């Protein structure tokens, strides 16, 4: 029962956050310099054509009516048209968002699969050579500029060794001879579903470098967070009691201590996940990855305001969903979170 109340509270909070973002984006869209109708038609449009578009877009309606229409259309996924492409923004997002999500999901999986075990091992070998090496690697990963690492990996693995492609999601030859049937927009998943293993291998090779670059910061952060949390947990009395009871070190580390130590790491990974969606702008530009980041960069360079607001709303929804999932996972791993919530109320 208390778990249901906890979920309801989180859902209500998410709705209020979304309404707040809608209000802010609507207000900003009305104070941005320039006439949306003129931006849509171009600088050479006649005044008559501009007035006609203003009527079509409802820009002459009262502001409360415009806000209600703005909220209703946003909830339905109707974000209007791009000033640059003249295409419905939702169509562009259906192509661009899966490309970015594929990078981010792979990077987060790599962060969890590498960062968490490495953090556990560093805490278990506290003060030893392995701990020092892992700490140096984590510091380097956190402080290393992403663009520098991207260019360095391209130089080594493409130019010098010729092992990996320099960019794109799929080579031209494979895209022509073995095109991927779009189902989810994730090339690796779609190619696997349809049994297109030639395209799957090519897509995997293309994803390696951008995923490694995007995952460098999350891996290092997960490592440092897990290590710090594990050190705190391993100093607890119940861990000493478990050792005295004869539990193996592996059971203590990965079954007993990690369950409590991983909660802060999950919180940080949830925040990094949402941040990586827009933070991939530079990486997508370097690797010519046709995702949401490069789409947003083109919108900034071309004053494509509706695209910027649409991307903001989409990222906000993803951010809210990820944080809601993280909260629920935390509550499942640590019941004290639900108890603390109940006591506050």
Q: What is the pTM of this model?
A: 0.81
Q: Would you state the pLDDT for residue 67?
A: 85
Better-predicted residue by pLDDT, 178 or 75: 178
* Run of H or E including 176: helix 172-177
Find, among 320, 287, 292, the residue nearest to 307 by Cα.
292
What are phi and psi for residue 77, nearest 5 degrees?
80, 20
Least confident of 123-132, 170-179, 317-326: 317-326
Which tens digit of pLDDT belongs to each residue from 28-62? 777 766 667 766 676 677 778 777 877 777 777 78
Question: Which among 28, 106, 77 is positioned nearest to 280, based on CA atoms?
Answer: 106
CA dist., res. 130 & res. 107, Å (int): 24
Buried b (16+ CB within 10 A) or exposed e, 261-284: bbbebbbbbbebbbebbbebbbbb
CB contact set of 66 (below 8 Å; sequence gap of 6+): 26, 58, 59
Top mean pLDDT of 214-228, 247-261, 262-276, 307-321 is at 214-228
Domain ranges of the chain: 2-75, 89-335
Per-residue pLDDT of 213-251, as tens digits, reads 999 999 999 998 888 888 888 888 877 888 887 777 788
Evaluate if residue 144 carries a pLDDT over 70: yes
Superfamily of domain 89-335 in the CATH hierarchy: MetI-like (1.10.3720.10)
Q: State what percent of residues in the chain have pLDDT above 90.
A: 22
């Amino acid at each position: 029962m208390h778990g249901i109340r906890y979920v309801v509270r989180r859902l209500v909070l998410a709705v209020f956050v979304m309404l707040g973002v809608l209000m802010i984006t609507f207000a900003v869209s009305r104070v941005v310099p320039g006439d949306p109708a003129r931006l849509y038609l171009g600088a050479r449009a006649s005044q008559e054509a501009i007035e006609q578009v203003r009527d079509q877009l409802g820009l002459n309606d009262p502001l409360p009516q415009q806000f209600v229409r703005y909220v209703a259309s946003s909830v339905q996924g109707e974000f209007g048209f791009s000033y640059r492409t003249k295409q419905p923004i939702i169509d562009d997002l259906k192509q661009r968002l899966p490309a970015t999500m594929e990078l981010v999901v792979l990077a987060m999986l790599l962060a969890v699969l590498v960062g968490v075990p490495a953090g556990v091992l560093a805490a278990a070998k506290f003060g030893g050579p392995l701990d020092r090496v892992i700490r140096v690697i984590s510091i380097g990963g956190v402080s290393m500029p992403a663009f520098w690492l991207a260019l360095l990996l391209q130089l080594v693995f493409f130019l010098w060794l010729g092992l990996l492609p320099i960019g794109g999601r799929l080579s031209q030859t494979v895209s022509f001879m073995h095109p991927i049937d779009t189902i989810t927009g994730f090339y690796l998943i779609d190619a696997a579903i349809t049994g297109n293993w030639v395209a799957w291998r090519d897509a995997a090779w293309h994803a390696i470098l951008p995923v490694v670059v995007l995952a460098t910061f999350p891996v290092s952060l997960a490592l440092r967070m897990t290590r710090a949390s594990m050190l705190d947990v391993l100093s607890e009395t119940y861990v000493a009691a478990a050792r005295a009871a004869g539990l193996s070190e592996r059971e203590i580390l990965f079954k007993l201590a990690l369950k409590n130590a991983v909660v802060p790491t999950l919180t940080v990974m949830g925040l990094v996940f949402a941040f990586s969606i827009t933070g991939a702008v530079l990486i997508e530009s370097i690797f010519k990855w046709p995702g949401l980041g490069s789409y947003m960069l083109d919108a900034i360079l071309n004053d494509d305001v509706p695209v910027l607001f649409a991307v903001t709303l989409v990222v906000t929804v993803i951010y809210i969903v990820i944080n809601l999932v993280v909260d629920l996972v935390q509550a499942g791993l640590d019941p004290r979170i639900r108890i603390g919530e109940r006591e506050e109320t």
